[in-house]
Copies of this chain bind each other. A is one copy, B any other.
Amino acid sequence: MARGLNRVFEPGAVAVVGASADPQKRGHIILKNIMDGGFAGPVYPINPRGGTILGLAVYPSLDDVPGPVDLAVIAVAAPLVAGVVEGCGRRGVAGAVVISGNFREAGNDDLEAELVAVARRTGVRVIGPNCQGIARPGSRLCATWPLMKDPGGMAIISQSGTVGAAFALWASAEGLGVSAFVSLGNRCDVDESDLIDFFGGDAATRAIALYLEGVRDGRRFMDVAGRVGREKPVVVLKSGRTASGRRAAQSHTRSVAGRDEVFDAACRQAGVVQAGDVEDLYDRAKALAMLAPPRGARLGIVTSSGGSGILATDAAAGAGLDVPALGAGTVAALRAALPAHCIAGNPLDLTGDTDAARYAAAAPLLREEVDMVLLIFGDPIPGACEAALRVRDETGLPVAALYLGGGEVEAPERCRLNRAGIPAFTTPERAARALAAPAGWARRAGLFSANEGSGAR
């Protein structure tokens, strides 16, 4: 259930139990990131030693804090955690994010059972234990590390703190961000299904991305993901798919990986998108969060680089998209609009001497023949972002971009494109595979227009 999670992700006040003055300790790093993240409400460091940390007065215990607290981040020794959560219950704290490890993952099942019992009895929602925290940039809450501040449309739920953090950092590095980051840890209380449920109803979240080593409750996962997935894309990367990977997963979080065929079938049935690797998880979630569902699977490719166009075509076809040849009328219109050395087809090759204006003039001519457009900029091309926005506005179609071979211009231009709502990618194959995600989702969700799928195209 999503009960109580509103106050966890939009807290008015936060306590850090086990706050530390030692910059190496997690109880310090998280406190500092909460401050550096610009959290607007009161932040209460808790440590029996008292004093001040990062200029904040330290309270000996939760009971001493002067105001109400919604969220407690806990980084104390494992045997003390249940007592702290008990105290959270007394103080009306809605949720506890337990960073501390040394629970079930280290064989201390008794400590974890005690923690679960306290959570049940008090009604405090527990994230973790043995987790890397949470971030909610829209609430300016960064109770994790490294620092995550940029808001965006993807919610990241990860059984590995590092994998989730990497994901959030990639987003930030390319001008995007996340609606939330949640490190599940041992998920003794809050699990992936609770969070899919919660972010399914969260307006800031446009796609939900999960890294899982196993599902805690298969039936509930299918119910929730199946329901949420009709309205909002859910993408999952599940590890432990090989014999050695399963062995590793069992050592890591004591996840029982279950049979992959069962998980795969469940995902298909629930409409959950499965990713092949972490990059694929990222690319698909990004495309799903940023692009409106297309009305069909026909992709138009407009490129300055012939080779990149071919690679994108191969990858698109491999991912279930159609890169249709163009009708005679469109080819004639392109020939009339373009210099003679351009190749009026699909891919539409504007060739290496193109400027941005040529994209803006030519791409809209594909409007009736394709359902989405990939613009490939294969050199530094000034005005690429403006041209992409014009193509989007004039066609009304989902538009993505690929920028490569652009030297120093490339990374800042990708950021500009991403910030303007045009998802920008780094390789032809990643761009094409990512574009297949919204198309696949729209098809499953019944959003393709009636005439889609006829072999005639």
Q: Which residues of chain A have a CB within 8 Å of any CB of chain B?
A: 101-102, 106, 132, 145-147, 158-163, 165-166, 169, 211, 213, 239-245, 247-249, 251-253, 277-279, 304-311, 313-318, 322-323, 325, 340-341, 343, 345, 347, 349, 351-352, 378-380, 404-408, 410, 427-430
Offer 24 A-B interface pairs, CB within 8 angstroms, sorted by A: A101-B341, A145-B407, A147-B407, A162-B304, A162-B307, A162-B404, A163-B308, A163-B404, A165-B405, A166-B404, A211-B307, A239-B314, A240-B310, A240-B314, A241-B314, A244-B317, A245-B310, A247-B345, A248-B310, A251-B306, A251-B345, A251-B349, A277-B430, A278-B311
Residue on B with the closest CB to A183?
Answer: B307
**Is the CB–CB distance between B310 and A249 below 8 Å?**
yes
Question: Which residues from B are CB-within-8-Å of A249?
Answer: 310
**Complex CA–CA separation, A323 to B243 (angstroms):** 10
Candidates B161, B169, B245; contact of A313 at CB < 8 Å: B245
**Complex CA–CA separation, A279 to B283 (angstroms):** 14
Question: Which residues from B are CB-within-8-Å of A245?
Answer: 310-311, 313-314, 317
**Complex CA–CA separation, A80 to B272 (angstroms):** 59
Candidates B146, B159, B313, B404; contact of A248 at CB < 8 Å: B313
**Is the CB–CB distance between B252 and A306 below 8 Å?**
yes
Candidates B159, B305, B351; contact of A101 at CB < 8 Å: B351
Question: Which residues from B are CB-within-8-Å of A315?
Answer: 277
Residues A277 and B307 in contact in the complex (CB < 8 Å), given A106-B341, A251-B345, A314-B240 = no
